């Protein structure tokens, strides 16, 4: 049976959320909540189990991000993330893979009519 909407969205997001995080932090160093806001500004809301914190931990463990602490607009010190050189390379490779996968899926799904009979 096909996954329901939110579940499918969670599964789709699961495979690319690391790329999305690397992409938004490549725009400028960011702390956790700031990354969530950048994602939401582009219409990508955290759904299902898709919290970014474990993923940020994995990126840090794998050496794909660098971190440092700094105050945020006079607030308490925050942990900022930015892609490392390995992270930038992983982002470039991942984006290529994503585009290839997206184009292939589009080629399969493009002819499908999306009108749903009521």
Is residue 64 at the binding interface for another protein, with CB under 8 A as the rule?
Answer: no
> What is the DSSP secondary-structure string of 59-99?
HHHTT-EEEEEEESTTSSEEEEEEE-HHHHHHHHHHHHHHH
Q: Binding another protein by CB under 8 A: which of 4, 75, 106, 118? A: 75
* Residue nearer to another protein on the CB measure, 4 or 110: 4
Give the integer Cα–Cα distance in Å for 10 and 46.
8
Identify the residue whose tokens are 């994602």. Answer: 39
Is residue 44 at the binding interface for another protein, with CB under 8 A as the rule?
Answer: no
Q: Which residues make up the interface to another protein (CB under 8 A)? A: 13-14, 17-18, 31-33, 36, 40, 45-55, 57-58, 60-61, 75-76, 78-79
């Amino acid at each position: 049976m096909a996954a329901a909407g939110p579940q499918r969205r969670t599964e789709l997001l699961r495979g690319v959320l690391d790329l999305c995080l690397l992409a938004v932090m490549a725009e400028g160093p960011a702390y956790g909540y700031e990354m969530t806001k950048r994602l939401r500004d582009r219409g990508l809301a955290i759904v299902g189990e898709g919290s970014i914190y474990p993923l940020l931990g994995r990126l840090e463990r794998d050496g794909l991000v660098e971190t440092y602490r700094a105050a945020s607009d006079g607030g308490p010190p925050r942990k900022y993330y930015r892609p490392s050189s390995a992270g930038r390379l992983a982002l470039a490779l991942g984006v290529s893979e994503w585009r290839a996968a997206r184009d292939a899926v589009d080629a399969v799904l493009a002819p499908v009519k999306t009108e749903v009979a009521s």
